[in-house]
Structure 1
Amino acid sequence: MLDRIDYALLRLLRKNARLPNKDLAEKTGIAPSTALERVRRMREAKILLGYHAEIAPEAIGVGLQAMVSVRLARHSRALVDGFHRHLLGLPEVLACYHVAGADDFLAHVGVRDSEHLRQFTLSALTEREEVAHIETRLIFEFQRNVELPAHGDLPA
Structure 2
Amino acid sequence: MIGNTKIDKTDRKILKILQANGKITNAKLSEEIGLSPAPTLERVKKLENSGIIKSYHAELDSAMLGLGVNTFVQVSLKGHNKPNIETFLSRISDIEEIIECHHITGSGDFILRIVAKDIASYQQLMLEKVSDIDIVDSLQSMVILSTFKNSKEVPVPADN
Q: Does 1:113 align with 2:114?
A: no
CA RMSD of aligned residues (A): 1.6
The amino acid across from 2:140 in the alignment is E
Choose which of 113, 124, 129 in structure 2 pairs with 1:124.
129
Q: Does 1:17 align with 2:22?
A: yes
In 2, the alpha carbon distance for the partners of 1:75 and 1:148 equals 30
Q: Give the equivalent residue in structure 1 for 2:155.
A: 149
Q: Does 1:49 align with 2:54?
A: yes
Q: Give the equivalent residue in structure 2 for 1:92.
A: 97
Percent of pairs with identical residues = 25
Structure 1 alignment gaps of length 5 or more: none
TM-score, scaled to structure 1: 0.90
**Equivalent pair of 1:70/1:103 in contact (CA under 8 Å):** yes
**SS at 2:27's partner residue?**
helix
Cα shift readout 1:21-51 (whole Å, capped 9, x = no counterpart): 1111111111111110111111111111101
TM-score, scaled to structure 2: 0.88
Quote the offset at 1:100 in angstroms.
Answer: 1.6
The more displaced of 17-26 and 120-129 is 120-129
In 1, the alpha carbon distance for the partners of 2:92 and 2:84 equals 12
CA separation of 1:150 and 1:36: change in aligned 2, threshold 3 A: closer
Q: Does 1:60 align with 2:61?
A: no
**SS at 2:11's partner residue?**
helix
Which one has a larger percent helix, Structure 1 or Structure 2?
1
Runs of 4+ in 1 over 3 A off after TM superposition: none
CA separation of 1:42 and 1:150: change in aligned 2, threshold 3 A: closer
Q: Does 1:69 align with 2:61?
A: no
The amino acid across from 1:127 in the alignment is D
CA separation of 1:149 and 1:98: change in aligned 2, threshold 3 A: same
Cα shift readout 1:57-76 (whole Å, capped 9, x = no counterpart): 12322011100110111122
Choose which of 27, 40, 43 in structure 1 pairs with 2:45.
40
**Equivalent pair of 1:88/1:96 in contact (CA under 8 Å):** no
